[in-house]
Amino acid sequence: MKTFFWEAVYICQGQGDYEPEGRYRHEIAFDGQNIYVLGGGTAEHAFGFAEIPVFNVEKRQWYKQKTFRDHSSKLKVRKQISSIETNFTSHLDISTTNNGIPPARRCHGAVQIDCDNVVQVFISGGYDGTQIFDDLWCLNLKTYKWTLINTYTLPYPTYFHSQLLHLRGKCTYSAGYSPMEI
């Protein structure tokens, strides 16, 4: 960064399972030593969060980091139900038990915050090819444990949105896509 010139740090060769698969609409986190690749996908597939590709900047090496589940989480899923015959769309909230790790997704938003030298990454929304999410999850980059924030959901299931964190600790979402009528 000091020179403001780009340089190739690492070029994936696709020769080992330690390198991440190509993807788009993923998010990135950085803890000062490692770059974490969060989710993303291809046109047919969304990547999950049980193992996260990590690039160590100093060693210039990829590895996979296992994450740990939130055993107390219950994910409320908002499903859209449409009827072509009646041109009627409704939304049904269904409580389900998840596996304590965010469902695979792409096109989600992410922000990170450093609290007492612990980086925490918050992801929200996104799309898995079938379902649009309205949830909020936090990943602690010291313990690698996920926490579902049950006290908050996006106003509407949303993807292709942006997130930013205010200095006062408030999160803002902008634009994005939601199939719900507002």
Give mean pLDDT, residues 141-170. 84
Confidence band (pLDDT; 50, 70, 90) for 68?
A: very high
Tokens of 160: 């292709």
Could you tell me which residues come within 8 angstroms of residue 145 by beta carbon, excluding any fewer than 6 positions away? Answer: 67, 68, 69, 70, 139
Query: What's domain 27-174's architecture?
Result: 6 Propeller (2.120)
Confidence band (pLDDT; 50, 70, 90) for 171?
A: low
Which of 58-62, 154-158, 170-174 holds the top average pLDDT? 58-62
Residue spans of the domains in the chain: they are 27-174
pLDDT per residue over 94-147, tens digit each?
444 468 999 999 999 999 988 888 999 999 999 999 999 999 999 999 999 999
Q: Is the pLDDT of residue 84 over 80?
A: no
pLDDT per residue over 32-45, tens digit each?
999 999 999 999 99
Cα distances (angstroms) measured from residue 32 to each of 26, 57, 107, 114, 141: 19, 9, 24, 11, 11
